[in-house]
Amino acid sequence: MNLASFLALAAILFCIGLYGVMTKRNAVIVLFSVELMLNATNINLVAFSKYGVIPSITGQVFTLFSLVIAAAEAAVGLAILMALYRKKGTVEADKYNSLKG
The domain total for the chain is: 1
Tell the burial category of 37 from Cβ atoms under 10 Å away from its Cβ (0-12, 13-18, 19+).
buried
Q: Is residue 100 part of a domain?
A: no
d(CA 4, CA 1): 8
Q: Check whether 35 has a pLDDT greater than 60.
A: yes
32 within 8 A of 13, measured Cβ to Cβ: no
pLDDT, position 21: 94
Residue 46: CA atoms inside 13 Å, Cβ hemisphere, count?
16
Residue 76 falls within a domain, yes or no?
Answer: yes
Q: Is residue 21 part of a domain?
A: yes
Residue 64 pLDDT class (50, 70, 90 cuts) = very high
**If DSSP codes are grouped into helix, strand and coil, which group holds residue 92?**
strand
- Residue 39 CA to residue 67 CA, distance in Å, equals 8
Residue 101 in domain: no
Range of the domain at 77: 3-95
Confidence (pTM): 0.84
**Range among 7-11, 70-74, 75-79, 90-94 rated most confident:** 7-11
**Ranked by mean pLDDT, which of 52-56, 62-66, 83-87 comes out on top?**
62-66
Give the pLDDT of residue 19.
Answer: 97
Confidence check: pLDDT of 87 > 60: yes
CATH number of the domain to which 75 belongs: 1.10.287.3510
